[in-house]
Amino acid sequence: MLFYGDWVYSESSGRSTIVKFCVLASGSSGNAALLATENTRILVDAGLSMRELRKRLASIGESLEAIDAILITHEHSDHVAGLPVLARNKEVRAVIYMTLLAAPAIDWGETPPARLEAFQAGASFQIGDIEVQSFGIPHDAIDPVGYCFEAQGVRVGVATDLGYVPESIKFHLRRTDLLLLEANHDLDMLKVGPYPWSVKQRVMSRVGHLSNLHMSDYLMQDLDSCTANLILGHLSEQNNHPAIVQMVAAEAIERRGLETRLSIASQKAPSEVFQY
């Protein structure tokens, strides 16, 4: 193998063998992640301003102009806040992908962008050298989806903003090398926290957000042993703490006897860049 910058080149295959993934932001104030091969770059969600997205991409050696596609999970503002501006910017060439039902919920301005590709939830499609598999998730949005990506033998799963983990999602998340999973709230903190009771009920519901307890149950019973990296994200600033999430998840992983490496995504700064 020969190394060229951030990419690894295989003399036998004549192509790059690296896949990169970075969570640019994760939380109720904005969500975005980058998945990249040498040839294709995908942004998952655009919940930050264009200026902040540009800044965070630059911090890991990437640029908005190089993004080929923007894939949206659902229409809530913490996932699409920067999307209308990105769609109008002529320097951003990325095609926007979102579900048929969610697309009309975005305030595009006068007209929807020409480079919008709407798909049926559950559809699979190809973007460059990355295969995309979408799947429905239980959340109180119009037509929310999660994604699994496959590129060069590497499988990456993204499942946040879900009230629980049904069997269908467990199926989709099998064989993931890297998984971004929600760990939104600690139940005790949520119950005594500052939210109105109606909001607490929404968060705890089966179309709300995944608790530490349900996250731990998934790790204990269903996390695939081949998952080398687990990133826990969308932590509530009011009703959770990274130290609690780390402790709960680490205990589940240890009890399973897994070698999975654990990371906690932040709202304030990009995660490390995971490379395969």
CATH number at residue 197: 3.60.15.10
Higher-pLDDT residue of 11, 173: 173
Residue 262 clears pLDDT 50, i.e. is over it: yes
Into how many domains does the chain fold? 1
Taking the C-alpha atoms of residue 117 and residue 109, their distance in angstroms, rounded to an integer, is 17
pLDDT of the residue at 8: 46
Residue 3 lies in a domain: no
Note the pLDDT tens digit of each residue in 97-115: 999 999 999 999 888 888 9
Task: State the Cα torsion 117-121-123-126 to the nearest 10°.
Answer: 40
Note the pLDDT tens digit of each residue in 74-93: 999 999 999 999 999 999 99
Look up the domain containing 49 and give its range.
19-271
Residue 168 lies in a domain: yes
Task: HSE, CB side, 13 Å, CA atoms: give it for residue 13.
Answer: 10
pLDDT of the residue at 112: 84
What integer is the mean pLDDT of 127-149? 98
| Cα angle 87, 98, 90; round to 5 | 15
pLDDT of the residue at 88: 93
Residue 12 clears pLDDT 70, i.e. is over it: no
What integer is the mean pLDDT of 33-58? 98
pLDDT of the residue at 6: 52
Residue 13 clears pLDDT 70, i.e. is over it: no
pLDDT of the residue at 159: 98
Q: Which of 75, 27, 74, 94 is nearest to 237 (CA)?
A: 27
The pLDDT mean for the chain works out to 94
Residue 10 lies in a domain: no
Taking the C-alpha atoms of residue 233 and residue 179, their distance in angstroms, rounded to an integer, is 10
pTM greater than 0.85:
yes
Residue 6 lies in a domain: no
Residue 2 lies in a domain: no
pLDDT of the residue at 2: 32
